[in-house]
Amino acid sequence: MIKISNLAKKFKIENPKKLSEQDKKDPRLQGRFFHSVKNVQLQCEKGEVLALLGPNGAGKTTTLRVLSTALQPDNGSIQIGGTDVVKQPIEARKKIGFLSGSTGLYGRLTGRENIAYFGRLNGMGDADIDAQINQLADQLDMHTFLDRRSENYSTGMKQKTSIARAVVHSPEVVVLDEPTTGLDIMAANTVIEFIKSLKRAEVPVIFSTHHLDEVNELCDNVAVIDHGETTFEGSLDAFKHKSDNGLHAAFMACLKEGA
């Protein structure tokens, strides 16, 4: 189970001139600090898939980076099972499979070597790693490129390899930042089927997306973040009931200005 309460994260702005025009007008900019996440809550139980929605710049990536221990929060608590992510980040990290938007692969290594390297970092033995990679390659349709150097991979090949690398150690929970962004329909479908397989295995999955059709197909619950605050958290059905005019209208109704 994943539970985030009252999460806040601000960044010090070293050079205000470098801020985007959108960020300059954002009320979250206060003096030298940009309060990216001000009050986020969400929860994801065993066997559930939660979609994290929000406009560009809402604070989704910041939330997921704090959840995955890449960033320290300024306030709030995060629990994964019995582990306090803020107080026990090393223990928490072992429990999380995290796909970040900018996961870089080592280009000189093959896909298999990239995944195996992470398996070793997580303390796995060679036989376990081989078995896991074979299973993940079946599920993510990777056999045709797994033993080629990753520097020449397509976007889809890179993303599949990054996902396999994130979950090679069979984490307790999986967190994916925009897993299907930039993928063609077939690769996106493979990733969606993979998320369904995690759900069948009762692994809680949180993923951020801008694709409402994926939300409809995959999710039990939805959380919407707008301007760094959770503006909706509930079941997919409750989300759909926000409007009679489809998922897009439901999403708009959850935004602060739409409320």
Ligand X SMILES: Nc1ncnc2c1ncn2[C@@H]1O[C@H](COP(=O)(O)OP(=O)(O)OP(=O)(O)O)[C@@H](O)[C@H]1O
Q: Is 255 in the site for ligand X (CB under 6 A)?
A: no
**Cβ 112 to ligand X shortest distance, Å:** 30
Stretch of residues binding ligand X (CB under 6 A), selected from 58-66, 123-131, 186-194, 211-219: 58-66
Q: What are phi and psi of 101, to 5 degrees?
A: -60, -25
Closest to 180 measured CA to CA, from 171, 170, 168, 190: 190
The single residue among 47, 57, 89, 234 that binds ligand X, judged by CB under 6 A, is 57
Q: Is 230 in the site for ligand X (CB under 6 A)?
A: no
CB 191 within 8 A of CB 163: yes
Stretch of residues binding ligand X (CB under 6 A), selected from 53-61, 92-100, 161-169, 212-220: 53-61
| 95 vs 211 by CB, closer to ligand X | 211
- State how far the alpha carbon of 240 is from the alpha carbons of 56, 187, 195, 219, in Å: 21, 27, 21, 12
| 62 vs 114 by CB, closer to ligand X | 62
The CA distance from 245 to 241, in Å, is 9
The CA distance from 101 to 116, in Å, is 21
Rounded to the nearest 10 degrees, how much is the dihedral formed by the CA atoms of 200, 160, 216, 199?
10
Give the pair of three-digit tokens for residue 42. Answer: 């969400």
Positions 179 through 218 that interact with ligand X (CB under 6 A): none
Stretch of residues binding ligand X (CB under 6 A), selected from 50-58, 105-113, 126-134, 196-204: 50-58
Interface residues with ligand X (CB under 6 A) are 11, 23, 34, 36, 54, 56-62
